[in-house]
Chain A
Amino acid sequence: MITPSQLLLASIILFVIWRTHAAYKKKNLSESFVAVWTIFWLGVLILVFKQDLVSQAAHSLGVSRGVDLVIYISLIVIFYFVYKILVLINDLDGKITQIIRKIAINEAKKRPHR
């Protein structure tokens, strides 16, 4: 039997997949990203309806409930993404600084009376 929570989760997942494909059509996303993202969410969709699979995985890893395993994995993934974003921002910050510095020094070099 399908529960209301399963229906809600399935609707959210389908919405995410729909938005991803809409963005792809507008050429905002790459083909490979859309493929990986869609497969990931379809996988989550399957697990929503086959919750015994999650419970089995949780038990085999020594976690009592399937939902706990999902939360643990989600936290690890979120931390990883936050870290990657920090690295990216740091990298961009460094590049912007270098560009602005180069412009400042080159402009000063060009001036006849420094």
Chain B
Amino acid sequence: MAKKNNVVAVIAAFNEEKKISKVIRQVAKHVNHIIVVDDGSVDNTALKAKYKKVTILRHIINLGQGAALQTGFEYARILKPDVVITYDADGQFEASDINKFVKPIVKRKADVVLGSRFLGKALSMPQSRLIILKLGILFTRFFSNIRLTDTHNGFRAFSGEAINKIELKHNRWAHPSEIIYQISKNKFRVKEVPITVRYSKYSWKKGQKNTEAFKIPIELIIKALVNS
């Protein structure tokens, strides 16, 4: 399905030289084009990301995952995609799940497809992360009015039309909440699909710290205040 339609994957990467190469090889089997946004890495991420089908965009300084995704979206629009997938660079996801995301969009049953580890499997997930994620789901549900089982998950898909309307202003940790608000604001049809998320020592070290989750409401409030 991915080959017939123009499926583009956007991968934001910051100091991912150990994993990026493997992740790209896995994702490349399921998409037509990969955009890797090297978000100011100080290691060899950009070098390791070189592969067929891959375009590397380099932020000269680190801006954050939200900013990197928006850069990827803006470049993806040039490629006139049918589907844009967002995928984490740390190897937590299973690339074989990509087809589950593509199908509802090409069949025009959804504008946005979100991965849910709670409908699928979250392997080796620490208990503390589970609590933080559940709090995040409640927080996002309260403010966006969308009932989802997983909100802070980097595995998503957008239709070509939807990606033209997504405009992320939050550069750092608040961007997953912002995506949900924009889905709500644009009245996109959403579907959740079960995915497998595999926590490892590496992904735990690389990913968001539990304490950083508390910065999200503060970031959202400050941004709302200054943009009002």
Contact = CB atoms under 8 A, between A and B. Distances in A.
A70 interface: no
Interface string A75-114: 0000000010011001001101100110111011000001
B55 A114 contact: yes
Given A100-B60, A100-B61, A108 B226 contact: no
Contacts of B58: 104, 107
Interface in A22-63: none
B216 to A, nearest CB: 16
Contacts of A101: 59, 67, 70-71, 74
Interface residues of B, number: 21
Majority SS of interface residues in chain B?
Answer: mixed
Contact of B67 (A90, A97, A105): A97
Contacts of B222: 86, 90
Interface in B36-72: 37, 55-61, 63, 67, 70-71
Given A86-B222, A104-B57, A107-B58, A93 B171 contact: yes
A6 to B, nearest CB: 39
Interface of A: 83, 86-87, 90, 93-94, 96-97, 100-101, 103-105, 107-108, 114
Interface of B: 37, 55-61, 63, 67, 70-71, 74-75, 169, 171, 222-223, 225-227
